[in-house]
Amino acid sequence: MTAIRLLLVDDDPLVRAGLSFMMGGADDIEIVGEAADGGEVEALVDRTRPDVVLMDIRMPTVDGLTATERLRARKDAPQVVVLTTFHADEQVLRALRAGAAGFVLKDTPPTEILAAVRRVAAGDPVLSPTVTRQLVQHAVGTAADTRRTHARDRMAALNDREREVAVAVGRGLSNAEIATGLFMSVATVKTHVSRILAKLDLNNRVQIALLAYDAGLLEEEQGH
């Protein structure tokens, strides 16, 4: 089994040391580098080629949001998991919109942080349905009318079946749950998700969920 290559980014040396100790003990994870600021990340990524970056969102010079945006704009970018102390912080939302695959709280139990890294490395987001709802409700609460109009215009590119899948993703459902609910195979769900990502020029399922909420599709579904 190939180990997951992990880059740690946090301005607090004690936090980095704790994460390194915790992650380094896992047989399937290799710590390939550490950075104390977001400004160091791109050069380190070029040198160490991580699969996943565990990124603190608040750093003094270049914050995790800016570093995430820069990384996710690159070709063959590593997955990013944001480290934060807040559940529904505006910066977390911006990081997710920029392409982060999810976030974990700094007080999350070590086993859950390990599980989050493994899930992201496997191509799955690390937002539970409960956290997804909390985040997207916050996003809708702060969304301007222009954002909703823009989101609806983008979602218009999808056909009816893709739209149904996008709504299901927005509800935080897994591929298996979507397959059961929409009476299709898991392989078909994966195909639809891939097409949605391509059509809407998105990085991951989290961005699909946020766009579906911005467009008001989840509210429409609840009203039915």
Residue type, 79: Q
pLDDT of 224 > 50? The answer is no
Contact 63, 38 (CB under 8 A): yes
pLDDT over 90, % of the chain = 44
Encode 111-132: b = buried (16+ Cβ within 10 Å), e = exposed: eebbebbbbbbeebbbbeeebb
Position of tokens 């409700």? 137
Looking at the DSSP bridge assignments, the partners of residue 42 are: none
CA 7/CA 20 separation, integer angstroms: 10
Tell me, what's the pLDDT at 132? 62
pLDDT of 23 > 90? The answer is no
pLDDT of 220 > 70? The answer is no
Higher model confidence: residue 183 or residue 171?
183
Tell me, what's the pLDDT at 98? 82
CA 87/CA 175 separation, integer angstroms: 24
Lowest-pLDDT choice from 40-49, 85-94, 119-128? 85-94
Higher model confidence: residue 81 or residue 143?
81
**Residue 72: how many CB atoms within 10 A of its CB?**
20
pLDDT of 137 > 70? The answer is no
**Average pLDDT of the chain to the nearest whole number:** 85
Q: Cα Rg for the chain, rounded, in angstroms?
A: 17
